[in-house]
Amino acid sequence: MPLANRVSPFGELLAVPDRGLVYGNRGCLHDDQGRIRRAYASRRWIACRLSFRGWHRGPLMQPGKFTELFFLDEATALAAGHRPCALCRRADYDAFVRRWADQHPGETGADVIDRRLQDERLDSTCRRRLHSRPVDDLPDGAFVARGPEAWLVHGAYLRRWTSAGYAEALPRPSGGREDVLTPPSLWIMLGGSVDSALPLLHPTAGA
């Protein structure tokens, strides 16, 4: 039976067999029987490498340990509100911090960053916060919400997210506004800067 540790662009935890390309955590979310009991345990939501220094932890969801989460790709992790890990993805994290300093002068340190991101991804009732933006301003790699579905902005198209990959594509609209899932402060990871190759997209994004 699949564990409920796959993350959607809405930040929801899903029990599906698909693993994905990106790993991460947001603290211990499960009980001693491996059942999910909370949506998050801290403001530190991070996205990690699947493989790092040969480290391996098994079985998953050990009692009292952080809940191992999996994302379809980097764009999904960013939409869910996870930033790069400062340990296993140091180069990505350092590039992120440099861009953060340009966007938020005077805000330094992981605690300050995570506090702002928590406010951008959840409202005062802990429901998912959406950010209305002009569609023409959205960078490739951002996600928009249309009803219960999440759609990736990718070139001239919007591509529907599923746990197994991207499905049908629609022409990217021009004009108007969209409800954006990706927190505004994480858009800086989508700019195609020379110091970062982000975001990593699942191969089906180009299908």
- State the Cα–Cα distance between residues 122 and 175, nearest whole angstrom: 27
Residue 34 within a domain: yes
Q: How far is CA 75 from CA 9, 133, 153, 176, 188, in A?
A: 8, 18, 10, 23, 12
- pTM beyond cutoff 0.85: yes
**φ, ψ (nearest 5 deg) of residue 33:** -100, 5
- State the Cα–Cα distance between residues 7 and 69, nearest whole angstrom: 7
Region 46-72: mean pLDDT is 84
Residues 167-192: tens digit of each pLDDT: 999 999 989 999 999 999 998 778 64
Query: Helices marked H in 83-160 — which ranges?
Result: 90-103, 110-121
Answer whether residue 153 shows pLDDT above 70: yes
Answer whether residue 194 shows pLDDT above 50: no
Residue 125 within a domain: yes
Answer whether residue 52 shows pLDDT above 70: no
Answer whether residue 146 shows pLDDT above 50: yes
Please tell me the total count of domains within the chain: 1
Q: Could you give the 3-state DSSP secondary structure of residue 175?
A: coil
Question: How sure is the predictor about 193, in pLDDT bands with cuts at 50, 70 and 90?
Answer: very low
Predicted confidence at residue 56, as pLDDT, reads 67
Predicted confidence at residue 54, as pLDDT, reads 64
- Please enumerate in sequence order all residues whose Cβ is within 8 A of that of 19, keeping only pairs 6 or more positions apart, or say none: 6, 70
Answer whether residue 62 shows pLDDT above 70: yes
Question: Which H or E run includes 143?
Answer: strand 143-146
Find the domain containing 79 and state its range: 6-206
Predicted confidence at residue 195, as pLDDT, reads 41
User: How much of the chain, in percent, has pLDDT values that exceed 90?
Assistant: 68
Residue 1 within a domain: no
Q: Could you give the 3-state DSSP secondary structure of residue 112?
A: helix
- Average confidence score pLDDT of the chain: 90
Predicted confidence at residue 1, as pLDDT, reads 81
Nearest CA to 65 out of 57, 73, 74 is that of 57
Q: Could you give the 3-state DSSP secondary structure of residue 137?
A: helix
Answer whether residue 197 shows pLDDT above 60: no
